[in-house]
């Protein structure tokens, strides 16, 4: 059984142990912490954009720097066509990294330690990538893409195009699984490691501090990896300009 640090949900459930509604807290635990992040991000977005000015304030400046950074990152991979995907990739990154960091705060939890959360995010990427592929290439063009665009004598061999179609279809179906499990496993491992070290007492405080520093790096890296792979998936289906 996973060892987790006490959080607001588990503490509340313990305080009201006999109340019938406490069982729903555990069912919706990850959704509760995800909702905390959503409310925080919505509030930040509202405060940063409510008084837009040519001379930006602190929050507007932070928001503009972030948006500019995501735009450079996505367009650096996809070119100018990638600008339409900046809102999606940017939202993914800020949402994931915020959930990752939430687990480092006492009595909070990273929703990304749950496969249901990371799989949902991965399925959003999967559906959007497939939609983009069909929109950019058309159904026939997408099948041709999955067949590795056979031409000449290879197209008449039948076996090779069908083999490539099966392999590429399996690859597309595996992508959301690998994307979700990578994020979930890494964040869960960091959180469990910190929970175990924290339970060892004060003598292990230096190790806990070092592990916290490594966990911060891991939170950033895993959010970057998730969004980088998502961007690469788009790059594979978006026609590139010469």
Tell me, what DSSP letter sits at residue 157?
S
What crossing angle do the helices spanning 29-49 and 86-102 adopt, rounded to 10°? 120
pTM of the model: 0.88
Delimit the domains of the chain by residue range.
8-237
| Alpha-carbon 68 to chain mean position | 19
Tens place of pLDDT per residue across the chain (242 aa)? 455 677 888 888 888 887 888 878 878 889 999 999 999 999 999 998 888 887 778 888 999 999 999 999 999 888 888 899 999 999 999 999 999 999 888 888 999 999 999 999 999 999 999 999 999 999 998 998 888 887 766 666 777 888 888 999 999 999 999 999 999 999 998 888 877 777 776 777 788 788 888 889 999 999 999 999 999 999 998 876 54
DSSP per-residue string spanning 169-229: HHHHHHHHHHHHHHHHHHHHHHHHHHHHHHTT-GGGHHHHHHHHHHHHHHHHHHHHHHHHH
């Amino acid at each position: 059984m996973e060892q987790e640090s006490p959080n607001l949900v588990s503490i509340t459930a313990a305080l009201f142990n006999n109340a019938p509604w406490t069982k729903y807290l555990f069912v919706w635990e990850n959704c509760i912490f995800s909702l905390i992040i959503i409310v925080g991000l919505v509030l930040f977005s509202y405060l940063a954009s409510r008084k837009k000015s040519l001379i930006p304030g602190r929050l507007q400046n932070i928001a503009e720097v972030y948006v500019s950074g995501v735009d450079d990152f996505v367009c650096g991979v996809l070119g100018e066509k990638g600008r339409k995907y900046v809102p999606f990739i940017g939202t993914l990154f800020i949402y994931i990294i915020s959930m990752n960091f939430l687990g480092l705060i006492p009595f909070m939890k990273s929703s990304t330690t749950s496969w249901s959360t990371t799989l949902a995010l991965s399925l959003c990427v999967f559906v959007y990538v497939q939609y983009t592929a069909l929109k950019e290439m058309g159904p026939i063009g997408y099948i041709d893409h999955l067949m590795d665009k056979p031409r000449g004598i290879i197209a008449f061999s039948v076996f090779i195009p069908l083999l490539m179609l099966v392999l590429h279809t399996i690859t597309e179906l595996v992508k959301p699984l690998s994307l979700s499990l990578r994020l979930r496993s890494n964040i869960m491992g960091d959180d469990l490691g910190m929970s175990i070290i924290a339970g060892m007492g004060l003598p292990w405080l230096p190790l806990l501090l070092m592990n916290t520093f490594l966990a911060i790096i891991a939170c950033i890296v895993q959010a970057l990896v998730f969004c980088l792979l998502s961007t690469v998936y788009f790059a594979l289906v978006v026609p590139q300009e010469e």
